[in-house]
Amino acid sequence: MSTVSLIDIKAKRRDRGIARTLRENWFVKKAYSDAKSWWQFALLATSAERTLYRTSNERKRPAARGARDSALQLETRWGKISAMANYYFDKYIHNPTYAITLSRFRPASPSCVSILRLLKQQRTMRADPGIGAQIRSKKDLTSLCEVENLETGAFVRCTFTYIDEHDRAWFGQTKDIRKYDLTVQDLNRLLQRVPDERVYPLQTTTLTVVSEETRSHLYIKRPKLLCLDNEEEAKLLPQMLLGEAEVLQFLEQNPHPNIVRFHGCTVNRGRFTGIALERHSVILQYRHEDVPRPLDIDICMRGIRAALRHLHSLGFAHNDLNPTNIAIDGDDNPKLLDFGSCRRFGEILLSGGTYGWIDEDYTTSAQSHDERAAEKIEAWLLSKAQEQH
């Protein structure tokens, strides 16, 4: 009998067969040795719960109750279930029947909700025997910031994110602890796993995939997980990563020496998890602090404007030009970074502009945004040069 048909069997057959089967220890043991039997057990346990509530015959209720209790006992065996999760993933994640059954099934048993949630997670992530985030230092965090009231400046909450070695995303926040007072124990306790589908777009055949050997020498740009703090922005997170990768691949096919090199995307669990770019150690925003000698402003601005002319000739605008999005090499030649807001002229922007580097908010891509930002950057560089003298 297929697992799908098990869901739809009538109450009488549940009374006679399912409850009795659930109470036999051999079936429980077999469930742990065979993934398919284990999955059927979850279905049977849920059916047993339905049986308990639908059975009006008092003689049959004890058997149904015993079946329900067996399901409750199974829920306590998290350790073994978690340890075998990788085995289930490898053997059944690409099984079409399994995937269809999982997508159609809706658990009726509260005792099986945790089990089924775990199984669903295996479609998007490989489970580790460990539970929760396991950071060792605040330096492991991808981001850490405080949100303040715009009017009063009062502390509202502390928000932090983390991406582990398996490309799993974590998000946490607290209203009770300031960021400087957070301990590693606090962070591990507050960080919550974010499902892959909320962060990463599905892999497509149109984008280049970077090899494992190559990526170790590159900078991997990750999704902006702080967007998870905003409900509307959170919905756009996978789309933002995919959109930037598509723009960068187009620019890589039309290269310019003052635009960052794109090497492809990193992939895990069938989803794009990052954008691989050439690595740069000096950012224009901090150039005056990191390098003691004066910056050659003429060389820097010539390179920025040359990159913008090339970008505009292709029909694109950067839309978020500022000193944090420009890298500088040893000869003061610039490289434009962060193409998350780069779109063709006239296209609607998901995000755009940085406060202090725009005159007013805008929602569509335009060449004028870049030209005005370049003027502001040049004025800022000249003021920095005067401060040094």
Spell out the SS3 assignment of 49-94.
HHHHHHCCCCCCHHHHHHHHHHHHHHHCCHHHHHHCHHHHHHHHCC
Query: For residues 90 and 79, what is the distance between their CA atoms, to the nearest angstrom?
Result: 19
- Let me know how long the chain is: 389
Angle (CA) 262 267 270, round 5°: 140
Neighbours of 379 (CB within 10 A): 10
Query: For residues 134 and 184, what is the distance between their CA atoms, to the nearest angstrom?
Result: 9
Return the pLDDT at 386.
86
**Strands 316-317 and 271-277, bridge-based pairing:** unpaired
Helices 35-54 and 85-92, interaxial angle, to 10°? 100
Query: For residues 308 and 149, what is the distance between their CA atoms, to the nearest angstrom?
Result: 36
Tokens of 173: 């926040």
Start-end of H helices in the chain: 3-7, 11-13, 19-22, 25-33, 35-54, 61-75, 78-83, 85-92, 96-104, 110-121, 184-190, 212-215, 231-235, 237-253, 287-290, 297-313, 367-388
pLDDT tens, the chain, 389 aa long: 444 444 444 444 544 444 444 444 333 344 334 434 444 455 555 555 555 555 555 566 566 666 656 655 554 443 344 334 444 444 444 444 444 444 444 443 444 444 444 444 444 444 443 457 888 889 999 999 999 998 898 999 999 999 998 999 999 999 999 999 999 999 999 999 999 999 999 999 999 999 888 888 899 999 999 999 988 889 999 999 999 999 999 999 999 999 999 999 999 999 999 999 999 989 999 998 888 889 999 999 999 999 999 999 999 999 999 999 999 999 999 999 999 999 999 999 887 788 888 888 888 999 999 999 999 999 999 998 888 76
Question: Are the C-beta atoms of residues 93 and 130 closer than 8 Å to each other?
Answer: no
| Three-state secondary-structure class, residue 212 | helix
Which residues lie below 8 Å from residue 292, measured CB to CB, with a gap of 6+?
none
Return the pLDDT at 82.
38
| Three-state secondary-structure class, residue 168 | coil
Please identify which residue in the block is written with the tokens 């694109």: 316
Question: Are the C-beta atoms of residues 277 and 260 closer than 8 Å to each other?
Answer: yes
Please identify which residue in the block is written with the tokens 């492809």: 264
Please identify which residue in the block is written with the tokens 């950057």: 377
- Model's pTM, two decimal places? 0.66
